[in-house]
Structure 1
Amino acid sequence: MTTAERAVVGRAPVMVVLRGLGLGDLLMVVPALRALRRSHPGHRIVLAAPARLAPLMPLIGAVDEVLDVSGPGPVPAGAPPDIAVNLHGRGPQSVTALRRTGARTLLTHAHPDFPDVRGPSWRSDAHEVRRWCDLLGRYGIAADPADLALRPPPSWESVPARPAPVIVHPGAADPARRWPPERFALTAVALRQAGHEVVITGDAGERALAERVASLACLPERSVLAGRTGLRRLARLVARARLVICGDTGVAHLATALATPSVVLFGPVSPALWGPPHGPHVALWAGRSGDPHGDRPDEGLLEIGVREVLDAAVNLLEVGVR
């Protein structure tokens, strides 16, 4: 960027968008972020979100800067932005944080604590992607809920030497959404016996869980990639995988965004609210709803058996949707 271009950027009006949540939460607002980019091409869009998500911004193509924010705020925006957009939640914390930025215009849902804010009502039965597209629609900004795909750089299209793996991702932020490791292991055994390369992914905090699954499945140590892949490398791995098997967590949304077939195990939350759209994805759910932040595996999640998961996996692998 030239000096003149930097000067223009410095004078551009700023839009601050709050989404201080995790990987899956970010991917659910990609259509909304792109809609904001299209509707405000002259603004500098600053996303208030965890800094660890920054590697995905080039694949989204709508954000100019990431402001490191976890949770509903505070949002240290510096000079008052021209527009603040609440893609975080219904409030009141997120609404308060954005009002404190001094933004001239605030786009958010209505909340009884803020009678002067004229936003749409919060719908608890709306799919998470649709929720934020509908919010912007009420403010005259058209967003396409189907615009979820990430745009990998051309260099990712090179054919790697190793065969495309099946990814087994046993972790999730809360125990309520974690299928038992023994069942993940049995699934991995069957897939490896069928001739598929299986790798176990997760973050650094899930390394022990991944190692347990690999040990139960008698997988070699090289199969455990948990804690060894940054977000960008994980995205590239998912992009070339034959299949992803996981719970209701961020990697499931990454598979959707990269058009990688997936089998996603839902427990306390219906896939009608957080599940993948139609396509090469199978969402398994026993029909129960519960506490997604519970401290033990959800009873509905435990109703999903290994055979059910394997049947879905084999069907996707045999169809060859890749």
Structure 2
Amino acid sequence: MILALRALGVGDLATGVPAVRALRAAYPERELVLAAPAWLAPLVALVGGVDRLLPSDGLGPLDHAGGAVEVAVNLHGRGPDSHRLLAATRPGRLLAFANPEAGHHEGPPWDDDEHEVARWCRLLAAYGIAADPTDLDLRRPEPGELPTGVTVLHPGSKVAAKRWPAGRYAALARELTARGHRVVLTGDAGEWSIAGSIAAEAGLSPGAVLAGGTDLGRLAGLVAGARLVISGDTGVAHLATGYRVASVVLFGPVPPSRWGPPPERRRHLALWAGPGAWPGWDGVGSHPALAALSVDEVLAAVDEVERVVRADRAVAA
């Protein structure tokens, strides 16, 4: 058994796709088990190559019944807790970043400023496993009943500092609607209220609010068939990258150099106002780097990615 740990969220799994596929290619005859939250199962199926999902909530004990662990791979972090968790499975070999505190002295050093996709590819490369950081595409889900050709606005985030002000989403939705976009608002059940208030302020119908009405599989299907996605630095942005759907991603406080879409994919633009000192911020609400982004800047980015889409279609024709 090859056991890989990535017990995190949507964006974390999406950025780990090249590493997971590299493990599949490196061990084609072994069972590949991914330890990740059970609710990610629909996305794991769209990644492909994983034989079994081992439900893991955070860094709790791993019940890896089903065979000996030949190789354990820490795609979760640098340790020591994640290292020790995998070491407890008594693997024949542990592939992980060096962490003397956890008793793991081999492996490459950790780099805080490294892009998340490149990080895990570099880890595997240090152990002789080639990984392609551009291999980010996701399988398309089965067609469902959700609308296609829509523009998805995803205003929420688990981290409050990563949320662009709701009033700007409303202004953006109004302008996009005037330009002919069919705007919908997504989010989890806890974000239904904010999505509803944005829709009301933008003059959208209640039917435009899909927050709380899509599980992860349906959300992936919605994004896969969308015209455009606009969101903060969150999982939905990575779904847009995985489906090559035009997207504009609003960053702050974390820079796009660490979590942004690949620069060679011109259908995806990351907006960031820069690090700055941002004096006086009390840590409440949108981070100043995010709040510094205007509606006009986002609309200009929309124009740019849509020009790229039109150019791509002209070439394909």
The two structures have a TM-score, normalised by structure 1, of 0.90
Deviation at 1:318, TM superposition (A): 4.5
Aligned equivalent of 2:293, options 289, 301, 304: 304
Aligned equivalent of 1:245, options 221, 224, 230: 230
Deviation at 1:290, TM superposition (A): 8.7
Give the RMSD, CA atoms, in angstroms. Answer: 1.9
- Determine if contact 2:79/2:102 at 8 Å carries over to the other structure: no
Residue in structure 2 matched with residue 46 of structure 1 by the alignment: 33
User: Which amino acid is 1:304 matched to?
Assistant: L
- Determine if contact 1:269/1:289 at 8 Å carries over to the other structure: no
Residue in structure 1 matched with residue 97 of structure 2 by the alignment: 109
Deviation at 1:55, TM superposition (A): 0.8
Matched, 1:21 2:8: yes
Q: Structure 2 CA distance, aligned partners of 1:312 and 1:71?
A: 36
Task: Show CA shifts across 1:49-103 (max 9, x none).
Answer: 0111111223211211111112233222235411111000010110010011111
Query: Cα–Cα, structure 1 residues 24 and 116, in superposed 2: closer, same or farther, change >3 Å?
Result: closer
User: Which amino acid is 1:119 matched to?
Assistant: G
What is the correspondence of 1:262-301 to structure 2 with a 5 Å cutoff? 262-277=247-262, 278-279=264-265, 280-288=267-275, 295-301=284-290
Q: Structure 2 CA distance, aligned partners of 1:105 and 1:207?
A: 45
- Determine if contact 1:73/1:94 at 8 Å carries over to the other structure: no
Structure 1 unaligned spans of 5+: 1-13
Q: Structure 1 CA distance, aligned partners of 2:7 and 2:70?
A: 20
The two structures have a TM-score, normalised by structure 2, of 0.91
Aligned equivalent of 1:236, options 200, 214, 221: 221
Deviation at 1:161, TM superposition (A): 9.7
Matched, 1:178 2:167: no
Q: Structure 1 CA distance, aligned partners of 2:122 and 2:276?
A: 24
Q: Structure 1 CA distance, aligned partners of 2:168 and 2:183?
A: 15
- Determine if contact 2:146/2:222 at 8 Å carries over to the other structure: no
Residue in structure 2 matched with residue 82 of structure 1 by the alignment: 70
Residue in structure 2 matched with residue 143 of structure 1 by the alignment: 131
Q: Look up the SS of the partner of 1:62 in the other structure.
A: coil
Q: Structure 2 CA distance, aligned partners of 1:208 and 1:161?
A: 21
